C-alpha cells in the first residue's frame, strides 16, 4: 500500500435504530472538553468535494454549500487538504505561499467566510500544514537557491555531494548518500547556481526545510499563528516525522528488494522520526495551547509500533500532539483483510499503550486505496463498509472519515497511463498507478457529474457507479450505508458510554466475532461485529469482563434477526453484520464468572 508502505518501511437492510440515537440526532452536540475527544473529523480533498464555479474543480465556496450535509451527517470538524497558493505539482502539498488561498480554490475572504459559516453549523475547520517542505517556487527557496550567500540559503538542506561519476553526477560530484525520495529516484537535486544538491523527501519540486535553523521555526510558527488568529481549530501536520535528517548525512540501511519505482527499500533510519522532532512538537504544542478553544494538533504519523506512536503524544507527559494518527488499525499492510483478532490486538494496544491518550483511528485518506477496496470481497462490500464504520465509530477514539467513505465510494484508478494526473502514477506505472483513484469527485446525486460540477470536464472522471452510490439516493434509503454511518455518529454523540466509556473486550478468543463492552458505572453498551463471510451464532460473556449479565435493548443493527434480541445469548450475526445493544440496568462489577 503506497504511502503507508513507503513511509513505514513500514445492501444493508433492516437497520434498527431505537429512541436513544434518534433523539441524539435532534439534540445539539453535547461536547465534553476538549471538543476533539471522541469527535468525528471529516477529511475534505478540496479539488474533489464540490465545484461552485463550473471549472471542473472543487473549491471553498463548494465546501460552504455542503455544510448543511456535513451537519446532518454529524461531523464535528472538517480537515481541508492544502488550499494554499501552489504550483499544484503535488496538488497543493507544494506550497508557494502559506498565508493565502490558491485562486483555483477561492480567496482568503472565502476561507474566512467558510470558517464563519462552518461555525454556524457547529463545525470546526482544521487546516493541513506542510512543515517539512515548501514548493520550489516559494520565494524562500527561490532566494535560497540563488546563491550560497543568500540569507535564506540555510533554510533548506544542502550538500556539496562527493566526487563521483554516473547518472546523478554533476560537475564530477554525486549525491552524498543513498537516500531515495519517497516519490521515486534520488532524494538529491543539483542546483548549478550554488553548485550543491538539495534534499527532497518527496518530489524534487518539494525541497525540505532545514528545521535546525531557528529562523525556519520562527517563520513556520508565524504562519501557524496567522491561521490560528483567523479561527482555525487546529492543524493536520503533513509528513511530520520527516522534519529532521541525520546531520552527518549517513547512508540508510537497505532492507532488500526494490519498490514500485525500482529504488532500493531503505530502513529510513536517517530521515524519519529523529529525536529532535519531538522538541519541535513540544514547542508547537505550547503554541496551540496559548490559544483558547482547545486547538488541536493532528499528526500524519505512519509508525510501526504503539510505543513509537505514544512518543508522539509525549507519553505520560501528554505534551506533544493531541492526536497523532494510529495507522495500525486501518492500514494493516499490503494485504488488508478483515481479521477480528488483528483488530482486537490493535484496539487493545491503543487502549493500554498510550498512557490514557485518545487514539485517532482512520481507515481512509487521499493517499491510499479506499478501505472498501482493501477489505471488500466484491460480494458483501456494503456490509463490509458498514462494519468498518462500526469499528471506527464505536471504539474509544477520535474518528477520521474521508469524504465518500460514508456512502461506500470505491477507488477508481485510471485505466491508462495517459490518463494519470498524479505524478507518482506517471513515474511508477503500472506498478504504482498513483492516487487519482481515491481522489475522484464526491458523488452527490445520480445526475450529471454526480452533482459535483456543472462542467462535464471534471478534473478527474466521475465514476460510473455514481448512479447508485451517491448521497441523494442513499439519504432516501433508510437501509443505506450513508444512513448507517449517520446513525452510528448520532449514537456515539448521544451515548456517553460510547463517547467516554472504557473498552473491555468480550470473548477475546473468538476468531470471527469482534465484540466489546463500552461503558462504566453509568451505563454500558455492547457491540458485536461478525468479521467473516458466514453467519455466526455467539453468546457474549460479559461476566468474564467483570460485569453481571443483565437484559439488553438493541440500539442499532443491520442484522434484521437481532432487532428484538433481549439477551446476550445465542445471537446470530449474518456475514459482516453489527449489533449494538444497551445493557438495561447498571453494569455492576461481578466477581463471579459467567
Residues that bind ligand NOJ (CB under 6 A): 90, 93, 130, 202, 238-239, 300, 366-367
Q: Smallest distance from the beta carbon of 237 to ligand NOJ, in angstroms? A: 10
The secondary structure of 123-179, three-state, reads: CEEEEEECCCECCCCCHHHHHHCCCCCCCCHHHECEECCEECCCCCCECCEECCCCC
Query: Residue 530 corresponds to which cell in the numbers above?
Result: 461478525
Q: Smallest distance from the beta carbon of 323 to ligand NOJ, in angstroms? A: 16
| 214-234 per-residue burial string, b: 16 or more CB within 10 A, e: under 16 | eebbeebbebbeebbeebbbb
300 is catalytic: yes
Q: C-alpha 150: how far from its chain's center?
A: 38
Question: How many C-beta atoms lie closer than 10 Å to residue 88's C-beta?
Answer: 18
Whether 8 and 304 have beta carbons less than 8 Å apart is answered as yes
Query: Residue 341 corresponds to which cell in the numbers above?
Result: 483478532
The C-alpha torsion from 279 through 285 and 288 to 290, rounded to 10°, is -90
Cβ closer to ligand NOJ: 205 or 357?
A: 205
Query: Which of these is catalytic: 59, 90, 238, 432?
Result: 238
Q: Smallest distance from the beta carbon of 438 to ligand NOJ, in angstroms? A: 10
Q: How far apart are CA 206 and CA 193, in angstroms?
A: 18
Query: Which of these is catalytic: 102, 263, 300, 320?
Result: 300
Find the DSSP H helices in 193-339: 214-228, 276-289, 306-313, 327-330
Q: Smallest distance from the beta carbon of 223 to ligand NOJ, in angstroms? A: 16
Q: Smallest distance from the beta carbon of 62 to ligand NOJ, in angstroms? A: 20
110 is catalytic: no
Q: Smallest distance from the beta carbon of 422 to ligand NOJ, in angstroms? A: 9
Q: CA angle at residue 422 from 421 to 424, to 5 degrees?
A: 135
Instruction: Indicate the SS3 state at residue 398.
Output: strand
Cβ closer to ligand NOJ: 202 or 363?
A: 202
Cβ closer to ligand NOJ: 238 or 320?
A: 238
Cβ closer to ligand NOJ: 239 or 545?
A: 239
Cβ closer to ligand NOJ: 238 or 507?
A: 238
Element (H, E) at 390: helix 381-394
Q: Smallest distance from the beta carbon of 132 to ligand NOJ, in angstroms? A: 7
Cβ closer to ligand NOJ: 425 or 501?
A: 425
Q: What are phi and psi of 340, to 5 degrees?
A: -55, -40
Question: How many C-beta atoms lie closer than 10 Å to residue 29's C-beta?
Answer: 14
- Return the residue nearest ligand NOJ (CB atom): 93
| 112-138 per-residue burial string, b: 16 or more CB within 10 A, e: under 16 | eebbebbeebbbbbbbbbbbbbbbbbb
Query: Residue 238 corresponds to which cell in the numbers above?
Result: 503533513
Q: Smallest distance from the beta carbon of 585 to ligand NOJ, in angstroms? A: 46
Q: How far apart are CA 364 and CA 386, in angstroms?
A: 14
Q: Smallest distance from the beta carbon of 48 to ligand NOJ, in angstroms? A: 13
Query: Residue 249 corresponds to which cell in the numbers above?
Result: 548525512
Beta bridge partners of 42: 78, 401
Cβ closer to ligand NOJ: 129 or 525?
A: 129
CA atoms within 13 A on the CB side of 501: 26
Q: What are phi and psi of 295, to 5 degrees?
A: -65, 150
Cβ closer to ligand NOJ: 300 or 358?
A: 300
Instruction: Indicate the SS3 state at residue 491.
Output: helix
Whether 244 and 277 have beta carbons less than 8 Å apart is answered as yes
Question: How many C-beta atoms lie closer than 10 Å to residue 315's C-beta?
Answer: 15
Cβ closer to ligand NOJ: 83 or 573?
A: 83
Q: Which residues are catalytic?
A: 238, 300
Amino acid at each position: 500500500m503506497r504511502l503507508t508502505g513507503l513511509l513505514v518501511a513500514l445492501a444493508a437492510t433492516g437497520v434498527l435504530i431505537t429512541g436513544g440515537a434518534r433523539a441524539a440526532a435532534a439534540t445539539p452536540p453535547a461536547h465534553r472538553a476538549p471538543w476533539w475527544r471522541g469527535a468525528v473529523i471529516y477529511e475534505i480533498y478540496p479539488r474533489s468535494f464540490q465545484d461552485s464555479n463550473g471549472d471542473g474543480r472543487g473549491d471553498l465556496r463548494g465546501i460552504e454549500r455542503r455544510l448543511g450535509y456535513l451537519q446532518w451527517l454529524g461531523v464535528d470538524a472538517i480537515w481541508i487538504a492544502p488550499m494554499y497558493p501552489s504550483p499544484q505539482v503535488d496538488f497543493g502539498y507544494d506550497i508557494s505561499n502559506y498565508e493565502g488561498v490558491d485562486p483555483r480554490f477561492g480567496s482568503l475572504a472565502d476561507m474566512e467566510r467558510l470558517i464563519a459559516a462552518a461555525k454556524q453549523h457547529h463545525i470546526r475547520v482544521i487546516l493541513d500544514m506542510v512543515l517539512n517542505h515548501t514548493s520550489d517556487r516559494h520565494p524562500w527557496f527561490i532566494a535560497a537557491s540563488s546563491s550560497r550567500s543568500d540569507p535564506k540559503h540555510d533554510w533548506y538542506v544542502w550538500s556539496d555531494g562527493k566526487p563521483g561519476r554516473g547518472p546523478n553526477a554533476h560537475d564530477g560530484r554525486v549525491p552524498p548518500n543513498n537516500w531515495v525520495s519517497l516519490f521515486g529516484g534520488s532524494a538529491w537535486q543539483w542546483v548549478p547556481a550554488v553548485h550543491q544538491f538539495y534534499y527532497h523527501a518527496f518530489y524534487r519540486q518539494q525541497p525540505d526545510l532545514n528545521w535546525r535553523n531557528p529562523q525556519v521555526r520562527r517563520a513556520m510558527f508565524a504562519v501557524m499563528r496567522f491561521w490560528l488568529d483567523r479561527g482555525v481549530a487546529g492543524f493536520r501536520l503533513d509528513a511530520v516525522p520527516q522534519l529532521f535528517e541525520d546531520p552527518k548525512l549517513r547512508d540508510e540501511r537497505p532492507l532488500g528488494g526494490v519498490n514500485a519505482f525500482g529504488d532500493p527499500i531503505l530502513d529510513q533510519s536517517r530521515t524519519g522520526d529523529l529525536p529532535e522532532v519531538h522538541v519541535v512538537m513540544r514547542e508547537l504544542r505550547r503554541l496551540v495551547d496559548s490559544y483558547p478553544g482547545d486547538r488541536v494538533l493532528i499528526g500524519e504519523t505512519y509508525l510501526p509500533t504503539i510505543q513509537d506512536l505514544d512518543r508522539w503524544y509525549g507519553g505520560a507527559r501528554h505534551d506533544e500532539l493531541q492526536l497523532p494518527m494510529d495507522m495500525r488499525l486501518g492500514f494493516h499492510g499490503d494485504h488488508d483483510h478483515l481479521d477480528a483478532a488483528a483488530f482486537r490486538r490493535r484496539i487493545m494496544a491503543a487502549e493500554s499503550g498510550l498512557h490514557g491518550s485518545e487514539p485517532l483511528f482512520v481507515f481512509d485518506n487521499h493517499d491510499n486505496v479506499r478501505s472498501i477496496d482493501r477489505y471488500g470481497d466484491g460480494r458483501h462490500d456494503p456490509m463490509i463498509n458498514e462494519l468498518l464504520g462500526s469499528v471506527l465509530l464505536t471504539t474509544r477514539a477520535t474518528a477520521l472519515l474521508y469524504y465518500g467513505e460514508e456512502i461506500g465510494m470505491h477507488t477508481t484508478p485510471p485505466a491508462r497511463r495517459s490518463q494519470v494526473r498524479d505524478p507518482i502514477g506517471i513515474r511508477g506505472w503500472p506498478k504504482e498507478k498513483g492516487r487519482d483513484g481515491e481522489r475522484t469527485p464526491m458523488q452527490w446525486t445520480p445526475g450529471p457529474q454526480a452533482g459535483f460540477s456543472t462542467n462535464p470536464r471534471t478534473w478527474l472522471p466521475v465514476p460510473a457507479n455514481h448512479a447508485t452510490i451517491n448521497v441523494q439516493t442513499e439519504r432516501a434509503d433508510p437501509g443505506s450505508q450513508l444512513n448507517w454511518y449517520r446513525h452510528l455518529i448520532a449514537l456515539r454523540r448521544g451515548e456517553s458510554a460510547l463517547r467516554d466509556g472504557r473498552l473491555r473486550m468480550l470473548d477475546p478468543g473468538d476468531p470471527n466475532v469482534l465484540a466489546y463492552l463500552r461503558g462504566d458505572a453509568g451505563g454500558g453498551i455492547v457491540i458485536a461485529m461478525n468479521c467473516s463471510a458466514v453467519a455466526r451464532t455467539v453468546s457474549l460473556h460479559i461476566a468474564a469482563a467483570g460485569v453481571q449479565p443483565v437484559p439488553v435493548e438493541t440500539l442499532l443493527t443491520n442484522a434484521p434477526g437481532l432487532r428484538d434480541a433481549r439477551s446476550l445469548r445465542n445471537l446470530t450475526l449474518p456475514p459482516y453484520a453489527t449489533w449494538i445493544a444497551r445493557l438495561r440496568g447498571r453494569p455492576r462489577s461481578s466477581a463471579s464468572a459467567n
